[in-house]
Chain A
Amino acid sequence: MDDAPAPILHMRGICKEFPGVRALSDVDFRLLPGEVHALMGENGAGKSTLIKVLTGVHAVDGGEITLDGAPVSFSGPLAAQQAGISTVYQEVNLCPNLSVAENILIGREPRRFGRIHWKEVRRRAAAVLERLEIHVDVSAPLSSCSLAVQQMVAIARAVDVSARVLILDEPTSSLDAGEVAQLFRVMRRLKAEGIAILFVSHFLDQIYEIADRMTILRDGRLVGEYLTGELGQVELVGKMIGKELKDLESLENAPKDIAAAERSRPFAEARSLGRPGAVEPFTLTIHEGEVVGLAGLLGSGRTEVARLLFGADHATTGELSVGGAPVTLRTPRAATNHGIAFCSENRRAEGLIPDLTVRENIILALQAARGWARPIPRRTQDELVAKYIDALKIRPADPDRPVKNLSGGNQQKVLLARWLIVEPKLLILDEPTRGIDVGAKAEIQRLVVELSDGGMAVLFISAELEEVLRLSHKVGVLRDRRLVAELPNDDDLTTGVLMETIASGGRA
């Protein structure tokens, strides 16, 4: 690969240490102009740290970074951006209360006579979005756009700062297939313009579709740099986790006794449960020990169904019975009292308390149920927390570390642990495997199977149809905020059938 053009960006021997942790040791990374370069690795492998070191969020402890052959050291993301390195993060970092145009041009507004030239702001924003083939009213507030459009706006903003290096950290984790295709079109166009793109994603198919080259990290060390065409998926996964992935395959073939799940007692029965603007009235029964999958595009009402069942939103129509008795869930607390637990898809905003420690986050729901006057004895806390850190392989295994310092996958496990210790009868998992690595994903999937074998009812929501199909006894399909089909997961059900149902709305 020595005939390749000179790298636009070269990082050599990068080391980074945090108190007690060696996040990166001696990592090399290079980025060629006009390529999409995937940075691969499990959660906690050092991908985010490498990006933060590159963009000046963290100072390097060792090694050097050269941009166009000249050594650089950025004091912060702004300095990196001025040098032509723009970043779009996994969770959109924009101002939802400002308009789309303002978000794109904030800090760089065109001015006239010292005042902001609003007409020009809107015109330029529209032009940038046009270039990316995104059609949206630029004067609408960003919060009125879907998450996917917000992501595109973030990319538009990054590109408009005339980036030469664009870093996309998990940009696809909240996009549906059509939106991913749109994003990839945009990426290919940017690539053709000579922009170097660093791409991080947990979706292997996407990596193989878009990336030219990949660099693999494991435990903060460089595993190697490969051309995408020269490394198969299985080898890639093997290199990422450092072992073979037989466990995942065995799970795939686990036989499911659909009839048995149907025969067991119904735990939760929703009859015409609905809420205007959220989801149209739906009827769904979840039996004890049954895994019910919910499939559908982003924004099809999957999360809304979960929120109604958990009392996070009030149902205005229909009725719900839990364990045979009719209930009205006005608050999440009422739902937890009935043995229902809910892991939100948005773990940063709706799940974790970032400043509290791993321990405190894990015991929170149990403590809330007991009330403040009955604290969980410290020894019981230690036992419970140690048990779940061990069972879910939460890393680092330090109960007293603030949860905000953990990687995404480990944060997800902390959230899971919080609900598992309350021993719910119905566990609602909304995108529990989004944005986390293959190993952790397999662990969570295995856990779902174990829990349902133990009699727990599980509502499993995921954008990945394969995953829904692998775990569920039956699958509810949502489309345009309506539950359009309920399909038993027998031999005839395939991802193809699911996709057709989503596409046709079950009318075919």
Chain B
Amino acid sequence: MNAAAVIRHRLFWPAAVLVLLLAANVFFTPGFLSVELKDGHLYGSLIDIARFGAPLILVAIGMTLVIATGGIDLSVGSVVAISGALACLWITDLDDQQSVGGVLTAVGLALGLALFLGLCNGVLVAGIGIQPIVATLILMVAGRGLAQLITDGQILTVNSAPYKLIGGGYWLTLPFGVLIVAAVLAITAFLTRRMALGLLLESVGGNPVASRLAGIRSRGLIVTVYAFCALCAGIAGLMVSSNVSSADGNNAGLWIELDAILAVVIGGTSLAGGRFSLGGTVLGALVIQTLTTTIYTIGIPPETTLLFKALVVVAVCLLQSPAFREKALNRRRRRPQAAPASADPKVKVPA
């Protein structure tokens, strides 16, 4: 593959930004890239980024499919809180918090509720025809109340080793959460790219009217992706609450919907729907998580972190825009007019 093809690849710019961010970290913290094995667990900043970024990646994967259909899901943050709250509530009521069976029931209940909430979103959007941003706004606002209701306005703390595994544990030297993300990503990639789900989703997002006339049953597809998105958020909610062994109805998953949407956009999926890229989304989520880490390591004053983050995000988005790059390049070297008409057509190098 030649250099031009690499630069044209749609994942080039997000990847370049990620590398740049990592390089900045290495500059400020020389040992940043080192990963070491301690007590059978891998440790290091890179592992931390993956571990803390796991819930965001999960939510962003679900969000990618929703956005591909031309929709959006604002309620994922609330679903994160609800799922964690319900699981923790169930576990605090257990006689033995260490019982694996009890924890599994809690997980099942939490994910079941998340799935149900997602179905509600899907029905509001595809069945009733409410605009996605409004339909999911309902659950975004109401969901916080539901989470508070579950926790009775308190922060529920649990002390359960099996539950701690989900977000804070290790398996085969790796953080368990990272393994869950890998599994969800693999399943999603299989369903969308090996099966024909991806084509149908992109078609529905790309032109809903034409898709209907081509015989695609878009209603079922749309309900499915909202349910899937909520399920991903539910799993993320378990991770978040498991990592801190507590459920906070107010702050768990706060603003994660915005980070997830941002990750999808940085990954090159258009908010207008159509083409989507799971790999891009994962890269985008990693960029955001690395950025958060970077802000701490290079000692940006905490009160200005959000501003700094915003500036970097704007820069990333501009870099990704072909129109902007062209403008910026043209300003630097205004090409003289009238390229010779007889010039040979550009030789295409096979990739």
Task: List residues of A whose CB falls within 8 A of some B CB.
Answer: 13, 15, 17, 19-20, 22, 25-26, 61-64, 73, 310, 312, 331-333, 335-337, 342, 344, 349-356, 360, 363-365, 367-376, 418
Contacts and interface: CB of A to CB of B under 8 A. Distances in A.
A351 B195 contact: no
Closest 6 pairs (CB-CB, A-B) = A336-B215, A353-B206, A62-B341, A375-B196, A372-B197, A368-B215
A367 B213 contact: no
Nearest to B273: A355
A104 to B, nearest CB: 27
Contacts of B217: 331, 333, 368
Given A62-B340, A372-B221, A375-B194, 8 more contacts: A26-B341, A63-B338, A333-B216, A350-B209, A350-B210, A368-B215, A375-B195, A375-B196
Contacts of B346: 17, 19
Contact of B214 (A64, A349, A354, A368): A368
Nearest to B224: A372
A372 B195 contact: yes
16 contacts: A17-B346, A312-B212, A349-B210, A353-B206, A353-B210, A353-B211, A355-B275, A356-B202, A364-B199, A364-B214, A365-B215, A367-B199, A368-B211, A368-B215, A372-B196, A373-B196
Given A369-B215, A372-B197, A375-B196, A351 B210 contact: yes
Given A17-B346, A333-B217, A418-B214, A354 B341 contact: no
B339 A352 contact: no
Query: Main secondary structure on chain B at its contact with chain A?
Result: loop
A331 B345 CA distance: 49
Contacts of B275: 355-356
Contact of B212 (A332, A372, A373): A332
B213 A342 contact: yes
Chain A binding surface, main DSSP class? mixed
A356 B341 contact: no
B144 to A, nearest CB: 34
A353 B339 contact: no
Contacts of A17: 345-346
B203 interface: yes
B200 interface: yes
Given A350-B210, A355-B274, A370 B196 contact: yes
A401 to B, nearest CB: 14
B200 A368 contact: yes
Contact of B348 (A20, A25, A350, A373): A20
B207 interface: yes
A374 B212 CA distance: 19
B2 interface: no
Contacts of B203: 353, 356, 360, 364
A332 B217 CA distance: 9
Nearest to B341: A62
B337 interface: yes
- Of the candidates B197, B200, B215, B338, the one having the most CB atoms from chain A within 10 angstroms of its own CB is B215
Given A64-B338, A331-B217, A355 B196 contact: no
Contacts of A19: 346
Interface string B328-347: 00000000011111010110
A337 B217 CA distance: 12
Contact of A350 (B213, B338, B343): B213
A56 B80 CA distance: 50
Contacts of A332: 212-215
A94 B12 CA distance: 36
A355 B209 contact: no
A353 B202 contact: yes
A367 B348 contact: no
A374 B194 CA distance: 10
Given A26-B341, A62-B340, A333-B217, A360 B199 contact: yes
A2 to B, nearest CB: 24
Contacts of A370: 196
Interface in B250-283: 274-275
Contact of A356 (B206, B209, B338): B206
Nearest to B274: A355
Interface in B126-143: none
